Structure 1
């Protein structure tokens, strides 16, 4: 009972830090571009948030460090990520410092989880507002995977329509609409404007992927536009993960994890909106694009998949 209480306490603490991080990160900080109007109040909030994050990550490290010391070294046991990194720290302490480990954990917890869950929420919202697309995706999964097993990662390569749904969701609601800031290494011209060396730059990926000059009817959910998914990359039209050497290193993992999770939800459940209203697609504010109104929906197991769900 005590262990569960401590777990919930950690979860609550992390959720608070998570929410504050993305709330502050989503606000444009004009002082970064015009130093003489920098807000001391905002700077203080950012510093306080960083102290909270750092303290929590250090707490997780110390917790796992104690567990390693308390565990019998002769007993073979599967290690979690922090324990693996701490074991590497013993051999290469100059590289696997606590700060490096905290940075890796932070990237996985913040960048990896929020963007994936937000993308899935948008995808389900779009599917519920377009039941014909949801039905088509369900038929594709039923025909390829069947009802005798749950779908797995290997099935994704044979589900092109599911991938089109994911691409269209990422086009309409990119998880990082402004990507991450860049700095020009040399003076250059962008759109006819001279950009001095060392200038901080942000790419408005949302505007590119919703530009009517590039995408016909950009605010309409049409997965069929990705029947040839490779063509969307031509001319830098679709870049939800960025592009080139500085693109998101987690792109491949994200597409597999979100694709498998979304496909499994489609395969295993029937989804229904409460009432006759459409899902509210209003966008919220933040570093990512959260929904202004969280998705609330009713689901029930599909009869053909009930046996598999009971075995989980």
Structure 2
């Protein structure tokens, strides 16, 4: 087939080489952050969140806590651990989650992808969790609550369900969301008022990568891409939409793209002598 050698070269050589180069850049930036702040610099905000007011620190400042009260309530029991153990839990979970997401890739490409996620892993942030939620959220509604109660705008799953008419999955998300919200609000109603006020007062105030367009530019693009992905059954575009919809785009957000290998449909073999595939392509979700 004409052009296939070029395509093979791009997929097997150029692509992995560029990914490895990007990974080296991320590793370098990660090393600098570790030198300045130590491992788990984002997770430390969760660790000390209850030491004062949850939302006293401004976004982007050291140890600023930006997520919903529910996330802080879930993490609270772990804060009784010594800090090194707490950091190990978050960093270890991030490493395991990213490794699982990249498992379908060839070993060399997976290692390069892991390097690209080094910043996320070392920081102890939760973008990897949102990536896992995106994978699981193609067949379940509840996983999208992980995005709804943390980063908020990247919670695109419910819109995906509406666009595709997947009402059972949407119902699963809504029921889970309402139950979790009710329990959290009943236990700490004042904190939810504080969080809403915090979001309204500080929306978009955290710094991100300088070359990334502002959220007001990215959101319409994300909306159009989400409609296209839903209508054409391209679930692998969900992480891209989530990245575009993130209020702040930084190096750690790249971990969202680690969900793509699990969402790309499997190749279906051709049945010998029949000239047709043995079955429909399926997303890699396990």
* TM-score, structure 1 as length reference: 0.26
**Structure whose alpha-carbon radius of gyration is higher:** 1
Structure with the largest fraction of helix: 2
